Amino acid sequence: MYPQRELTLLAARKIELQQSIAQRRAQSVKDAFRITRPLAWLDRAQTFWAQIPPLAKVAALSIGLLVLKRTLFPQRKINVLGPLLRWGSIILKAKAKAQKTDKIPAGSAW
């Protein structure tokens, strides 16, 4: 029916196709594992989260949001010494003047 040469070529092509299919299947399995790895991690995290008591969840979320806020929106460092030195002398002078005015008799001009 078919000449032997064509049958040999078809057999060789069939083997090539089978090898190509096997390689693609192996690559598909590797890709599937790589894609589902984060999903497996999320599943483990969700299972762990379900085991945590509700009050601890609220505390963990509050602390996490606070850390996130401080990380994304850092505040300026509060410097106490600068304003204290700047306004301290004025406050002390005002206090001394107020004490001095308390000692002045009511009828005097000063």
DSSP-derived 3-state class of residue 81: helix
Residue 6 falls inside a structural domain: yes
The tally of domains found in the chain comes to: 1
18 part of a folded domain: yes
Rounded CA gap, 96 and 90, in Å? Answer: 10
With a cut of 70, say whether residue 105 has pLDDT above it. no
Domain region containing 3: 1-53
CA 26-28-34 angle, 5° bins: 110
What does the alpha-carbon distance between residue 19 and residue 25 come to, in Å, rounded to a whole number? 10
Q: Looking at the domain assignment, is residue 39 inside a domain?
A: yes
> What is the CA angle 107-108-110, rounded to 5?
140
Instruction: Say whether pLDDT at 20 is over 90.
Output: yes
Residue 28: inside a domain: yes
User: Per the domain annotation, does 36 fall within a domain?
Assistant: yes
**Structure tokens belonging to residue 80:** 């106490």
Is residue 77 assigned to a domain? no
- Check whether 82 has a pLDDT greater than 80: no
Q: Let me know: does 104 contact 110? Beta carbons within 8 Å.
A: yes
Q: Say yes or no to pLDDT of 33 above 80.
A: yes
Q: Is residue 12 part of a domain?
A: yes
Give domain status of residue 7, yes or no.
yes
Q: Is the pTM of this model over 0.75?
A: no
